Every structure is written in structure tokens, then in C-alpha cells.
Amino acid sequence: MPIISTIGRRSLKIRLVLTLIYSVLGLGAVTMVYPFVVMIGTSFTSEVDHDEFAPIPAYFFEDRWLYRKYLESKFNEELPRFNTYSSGDLSSFKEIEPPAGLDNGATEEWLRFKPTLRSMMRMLGSSSNLSRVTPEMGARYRVWLQNRYRTLEAVNEAYRESNATWEEVMVPIEDWTIRSYQPTRTRKYVEFLEFRALQPERYFWTVSGDGLFQDWLKLRYGPKMDELNAKWGSSYGSRAEIRLPERLPEGNAQRRKDWEEFVRKELPSQFVQPDPSQAEAYRWFLKSKYPDIEAFRQRYELTLSSFDEIPLPDPPPGSGVPFADWLEFLERAVAIDQVHLTTPDVLFRVHLARNGPVQLRSQAGSISPPYLAAEWVEMRADSRAIRWEFAIRNYREVMNYIILHGPAVWNTFVLCAGLLCVTLIVNPLCAYALSRYSLPSTYKILLFLLATMAFPAEVSAIPNFLLLKQLHLLNTYWALILPAMANGYSIFLLKGFFDSLPQELYEAAQLDGASEPMMFTRITLPTSKPVLAVISLGTFTTAYGSFLWAFLVCQDPDKWTLMVWLSQMQAWAPMFVIFAALVLAALPTLAVFVLCQNIIMRGIIIPTEK
């Protein structure tokens, strides 16, 4: 019994030790895998969530984070513009929270009303690449152009541009928040309007007249409300409570003065509409500006017989001389008390007062369009497509970058294939000669070959570069392949494996009349597949991941490999795009290992068994 008890205690101790060892090894494996998983997770992120460093981005399953990314992308990462739109004062898109509740049918009413607004009141989101990542609208626009024109040359000819790649074709930028903005009605812009009309409603955001007025007041009176309240005789708790009235407000003189100055000089002209009574004032303004009707006709390209036939523009002019004259008329000549505003906010309040739900009509004058609540509804209605877009956006950017630099893929293939070929020829031949023939200096040769491993590659870079330069091989594939065709460690490994092969195989082959080349190709190489697979994997990973040497000897961009191009990508790409590039760059090596792991494991085990 004591002996059995002692054996049991020892067995328990051994199990505890083994459990501890496996636990430590498992923890070590987790610490190795976790950073890679975090890198993969970060590769799906953007500016708003790239510093969360989560294995799975939160927006994959949380609508709150998806909402933040949706608004960040829609407003092209322009936080000031978003603050104007939402009457907010956020310092980061991370601070955005979903609306607490949908308000008394106002959101539903706004979603029905919004599509009725004129195009000059709404703009396409996700269209400019401030983050240096092609936004969704840019990608959609280029696909639309490709379907329309087929080739980039046809696009350049139609638009009189000189784009070298599709990525250089930019979406025409509309900015109806700027008073002096006027689009040039070129062929590109006219066709862009066709593309614009095809886009789903969720891509559009509305110019907020209330937000523009609040921003202007912030610049005038500062961020705090004390001075404004003192000048206006008001008691606003925050700037978001201020509304831009449809007409010149009554009462406080300073408030009237601010409203007039904002309308005359700051508010975009498409939102300012004089009453019909100002038609005569508009004609007198034009008469004072042009000496006769003929001069007016030439500038406006109209066929009128007298100034009395000139109508009051509705909608206001959008470009050219009429637009400039209209701005001057609004600033200097129009009677400010005969002006009414047509901002989306004002139009929505008028709509609610006349046709809105009964519970909203009494308070229509103080209601601002529920912009963020509407964005939340639109986002949730199409959340699956939005998630998919954010998931593939960074990878699409990397793939487009790689495809645009087409020679990079071909150069990398040539380098890997060429180096594999010469490595699997030169190294086995050298090792076979050292193994089959007992030369007196065999070990000295091996020692010399192994000595090359004692020095980093940078030490031999300069002499190799000078030698290639003398041979006129720079900026060629040979410059990438020749210096790495022989490897001391590979020769040493192969020689040890060849020495372990039974000599009886060679003696039997010699009796049958086999020559050395035949024994090398029919006996040695077939039995050495596992170790050759290990060497091939090492050669492939070295060639595929080569950057410094490839950049040094091939400075011509037409000969740059994939890793050189990806290193150049770091000059402009944000971190999350670089992580996506690293994940894609790791896939070929991972695929090779997964497909060849059985052969590789035999290469590790067989020499040990022998």
C-alpha cells in the first residue's frame, strides 16, 4: 500500500506539472495570436474607432458604433460641418449618441418632407476623401463612369481631363453652405447631376439654416451665451435653442440687426427670396447697373425688349453674371422687411404649421428638423449594407492601390518564382556534391558557408550593389534573384539530410548503370521532398517579404515589388488601411503554409527519425 500511495502521489505531481506547463504554453500561444487578431480587427475600422484595438470591431454588432461611423463617413470626417448640421458642439465623432427617442411623429414627417426639397438644399455625403480613403460615393461614382464610358481615355476626352488612373477621377464637390458657391455647368457637372439623382436617400444631408445662423452667432458673440442674451434680451440656455426666423424678427433692435446682416452677407443666396413687391426694386437695380437693355441682353443672354419684362428670379440664379448681380442686389438694394427665407428648417416649420400632425401644429414655430433622429432611422433601415461597406472599404482601398500598380504583382511573382527555381537547383547540387564526394576540405567549405550567417544582410549589401552595378544589372529581375540564389544554411541542411540517406540506394543504382545526374534526379531529390519543402517555404517568405534589397537595387517603380509599394503606401495611408494591407500581404504566406503543412512537418520530423 505505501508503494502504491507513493506512485499515486508522483503521478498526481506529474499531472500537475504537465497541466502547469500546458497552461503556460497556452498562455504564450494566446499572447502571440492576440496581437494578430487585434490587427485584423483594426483593419476593419476608421478614424472614429481605430484606437479601440478590439479583436472584433464594435460596429459589427452595436448600432451605436455603426451610427457614429455612418455619420463620420457621411460628413467626410468634417466635424465642424457635422456640428453645424446637428446644432452641436462635439469634439469627436465618438461623442455621438443615438437619439433618445423619436419625437411625436416629427421624424416621420421630416422623412416624408425631405425628398421634396430642391437640390440646392441637399448635398451628397461620403464623397470627398479627407481621410485619404476613397469614400463610398467616390467608389460608386467611378463604377457609374466605367459603365457609361467603359475606358478612362473616354472619360478624359469627354471631360477634358488627364487622369492617369481611375482613382484620380474626383466626384464634383457641391457646397451649398457657402454663400458665393456657384457650380460650373460643364459636361462633367451636368452628368454628375444624373448620377446624383440615382442615389438612395440615405446618402443626402440637408443644409441647416438654423445651424449656419448659430455658427455665425458663435463667431460674433463667442461660445458662451451671456453676451448674446444680454444684447438680445433673451434667456437661451444653449445656442441649439436659437432658430432662424422666416422674416425680420420684431422687438429687440440688436436681434433685428444681426438677422439682417446675416441674411444680407452670410446666408447662401438660394435661401433668400424677396417678396413679389421687390420685382420693381430688382429692375431698378439692373437699370442702374447696365446702361441699356442691349448691354443687359448680352450679359444675360436673354431676348427681352425692355427692363420692365425682367421677372423676379424664382429660384434664384445659380451661376455666372446673374448670380453675381443677385448677390449684390440682396446685399445692397433689397428691402430687408420684404424678404422671406426658404431654408429647409423654415420650410419644414411652415409645412408643420399647415399640414403637419395636429399635435405638432401648435409648436411648429419652435421645431427644428430632427436631423439626427432621421439619420438614425435611415441608418437602421439599411444597416446591413452599411456594415458591409465599412467592412470592405479598407481592403478595397488596398486592392485598388495594388491593382493600379500592376507591375508590383507581376514583379513579386517573378521574384518568388525565379528565386525558388534557382534555389532548388543551386543549393541541392552543392549539397549533393559535398555529401557524395569526401573532399578533404568539406568541413572547411561548410564552415565558410555557415560563417556567412554570422553577418547581417546589410553588411554584404554594399559590395553586392557595387558588383551588380558593374555588371549593369540594376533595375532588372536578375538583381533581385542572383544575390540570393545560394544560401549557406540551406546547403548545410541539405547536406545533413543527404548524408542520412542509405548508401545502399546509390550502390544499387550504380550497379544498374545509373549516372550521377540520374541518381541525383531519381533518388536524391524525390526522397528529399520534405526538406526541400522547408527550404522552399523559407525562400518564398524571404523573397515575398523582401523590401530593403528590392528597393535598393530596383529604384525604377516599374520594377518595384509588392512590399516596396506597400511601404510607399505608408506615406499617405492611415493606420487602419496599413493594417488591412498587412493582413492581405500575409495571406499568400499563410496559404502556402496551410497547403504544404504536411510536407513541411515531414521535413522537420524525418531527419530526426533517421
Is pLDDT larger for residue 50 or for residue 450? 50
Instruction: Locate all alpha helices (DSSP H) within 150-199, ordered by sequence.
Output: 152-159, 187-197
Number of neighbouring beta carbons within 10 Å of residue 498: 20
The enclosing H or E element of 205 equals strand 204-206
Within 13 Å, how many C-alpha atoms sit on residue 416's CB side? 22
The enclosing H or E element of 340 equals strand 339-341
Q: For cell 460596429, what's the residue?
A: 59
Is pLDDT larger for residue 598 or for residue 57? 57
pLDDT at 110: 92
Q: In this structure, what are the phi and psi dihedrals at residue 204, rounded to the nearest 5 degrees? A: -95, 145
**Beta strand 204-206 with 272-274: parallel, antiparallel or unpaired?**
unpaired
Mean pLDDT of 581-595: 84
Mean pLDDT of 133-154: 89
pLDDT of 264 > 90? The answer is yes
Share of the chain above pLDDT 90, in %: 34
Nearest in space to 521 (alpha carbons), one of 390, 413, 429: 429
Tens-place pLDDT, residues 341-375: 999 999 999 998 888 887 788 787 888 899 999 99
* C-alpha cell of residue 230: 444680454
Q: In this structure, what are the phi and psi dihedrals at residue 14, rounded to the nearest 5 degrees? A: -65, -40
Cα separation, 413 vs 428, in Å, equals 23
CB 494 within 8 A of CB 535: yes
pLDDT at 608: 44
pLDDT at 2: 58
Tens-place pLDDT, residues 221-248: 998 899 999 999 999 999 899 999 999 9
Mean pLDDT of 100-128: 84
Q: Is 562 exposed, middle or buried (0-12, 13-18, 19+ CB in 10 A)?
A: buried
Q: Hey, which of 392-396, 452-456, 524-528 has the most confident mean pLDDT?
A: 392-396
Confidence category of residue 599, pLDDT binned at 50, 70, 90: low
pLDDT of 589 > 50? The answer is yes
Cα separation, 148 vs 404, in Å, equals 20
Cα separation, 480 vs 548, in Å, equals 11
Within 13 Å, how many C-alpha atoms sit on residue 341's CB side? 26
Q: Taking the chain, what is the end-to-end CA distance rounded to the nearest angstrom? A: 44
| Residue 169 DSSP code | P
Mean pLDDT of 303-308: 84
Mean pLDDT of 416-438: 87
Cα separation, 151 vs 170, in Å, equals 16
Name the least confident of 9-13, 229-233, 417-421, 487-491: 9-13
Which residues does residue 273 pair with via DSSP β-bridges, in sequence order? 340
pLDDT averaged over the chain?
A: 86
The enclosing H or E element of 123 equals strand 122-124
